Amino acid sequence: MVNYLWENLFRRGQKDSEIDLVLNENYLFRVLSKAEMAFIKTLVHYRAYRPGESIFRQGELGVGMYIIVKGTVNITVEDLRAADESQRNVFVTRLGRGDFFGEIALVEQTGRRTATATATDEVALLGFFKPDLAEIIERSPRTGVKILTRLGEVLGRRLKETAERFTEVKRELKEMAQDDSSN
């Protein structure tokens, strides 16, 4: 019984230090003061997922973002036009420790998830949800502005990357069509 008690105390301490580290390294939060970070830590939600467990599915209502504390998460999209059902889930990316996803849900009123997130192994996540952000804005507007500014930067950068990738794919398709017509 005593070993069990001590083991839990040490695990809790390790979990807290992992949470501190991930939050301090996260782009949205690393500009915050120690006091602001302590406040953020009281708001985030820690949850573990088993391999293969869905974190959220494409089309579900988005309520917030997730930061990976440990493990890896696959992001996939469902292609409803795929003729073969085995090709419906299209792999987009694999995310690891420190990465975050689902952040657009923090700013959309009633947005739906544009992809599915699935744990690939034992995964621990921090959830940061709309009500958490609203509480920060209400209780500490300066902190809220810092987070929203960083969130805007992230969303802008991801939009730019998406536009660049779209342009690249469009160019590749055009080149393929020209190659087909010349053969």
- Which tokens in the block code for residue 86? 């085995």
Mean pLDDT, the chain, integer: 88
List, in order of start, the domains of the chain with CATH numbers: 2-182 (2.60.120.10)
What's residue 11's pLDDT?
Answer: 45
Angle made by CA atoms 160, 76, 66, in degrees to the nearest 5 = 75
- Give the strands of the sheet with 100-101, arranged side by side: 45-49, 123-129, 64-70, 100-101
Taking the C-alpha atoms of residue 54 and residue 126, their distance in angstroms, rounded to an integer, is: 15
Phi, psi of 24 (to 5 degrees): -65, -30
Which of 32, 42, 56, 71 has its CA nearest to residue 111?
56
- Which tokens in the block code for residue 14? 């390790």
Residue 154: CB atoms within 10 A of its CB come to 15
Enter the pTM of the model: 0.82
Q: What is the DSSP-derived secondary structure letter of residue 32?
A: S
Asked if residue 126 lies in contact with residue 22, where contact means CB atoms within 8 angstroms, the answer is: yes
Ranges of H-type helices in 28-121: 34-43
Question: Residue 79: which pLDDT band, with cuts at 50, 70 and 90?
Answer: confident
What's residue 100's pLDDT?
Answer: 95
Angstrom distances, CA of residue 59 to CA of 17, 68, 90, 114? 34, 22, 15, 6
The mean-pLDDT minimum among 9-18, 79-88, 109-118, 165-174 falls in: 9-18
Taking the C-alpha atoms of residue 162 and residue 141, their distance in angstroms, rounded to an integer, is: 31
Does 135 have pLDDT greater than 50?
A: yes
Asked if residue 73 lies in contact with residue 95, where contact means CB atoms within 8 angstroms, the answer is: yes
Question: Residue 55: which pLDDT band, with cuts at 50, 70 and 90?
Answer: very high
| Residues 148-169, mean pLDDT to the nearest whole number | 91
